[in-house]
Structure 1
């Protein structure tokens, strides 16, 4: 899966969560940082968003992985950064699956 497709799916997931929660949803772009820029999008919501995204892309994302924050810097990621990170995860999973 390419980052652009993943970005589209992630934006759709975030918009749906905001609508279902009755919360405002700003215009989402690749530069949007959901944890900083989306009302009510916090540690209670990101695991749900991650699970829904995992189902949408048909690939597992580890439960303990916060795709919305950079593990090293602890800085919230933009949608572009999240898409690139999840694409890298999918590549690693595919490579690991191929070597088993």
Structure 2
């Protein structure tokens, strides 16, 4: 899976969540740490973002994987670090076509 496509999808998901929540959304780059830099982006929101991203990319991201925080720590990860995790996960799964979220 292409890292640029994953990054683009992740940024779009984060922006949509912030907008839908009525919250400020600063510019999101590869060095942005969503847990630290996006208002109210916490443990209630990140699972939703991960689920939407998985559907959008057509991959499965297990419920116990937090792509926004280093495993078993409180260290926040950057968008680029999250992208690397998602790309690695995608490479272990059979290919499936990406789906549009809320497609009608």
Q: What is the TM-score normalised by the length of structure 2?
A: 0.86
Number of aligned residue pairs: 94
1:76 paired to 2:76: yes
Who is 1:65 aligned against? 65
Q: CA RMSD for the aligned pairs?
A: 1.1
Q: Which runs of 4+ in 1 moved over 6 A?
A: none
**Aligned equivalents of 1:58 and 1:86: distance in 2?**
11
Who is 1:97 aligned against? none
Larger helix fraction of residues: 1
Q: What is the TM-score normalised by the length of structure 1?
A: 0.89
**Aligned equivalents of 2:83 and 2:55: distance in 1?**
15
What's the CA shift string for 1:70-96, capped at 9, x where partnerless? 1155411100000011101111234xx
**Aligned equivalents of 2:14 and 2:25: distance in 1?**
8
For the residue of structure 2 that corresponds to 1:93, the secondary structure is: coil
Is there any run of 5+ residues in structure 1 with no aligned partner, and where? 95-100
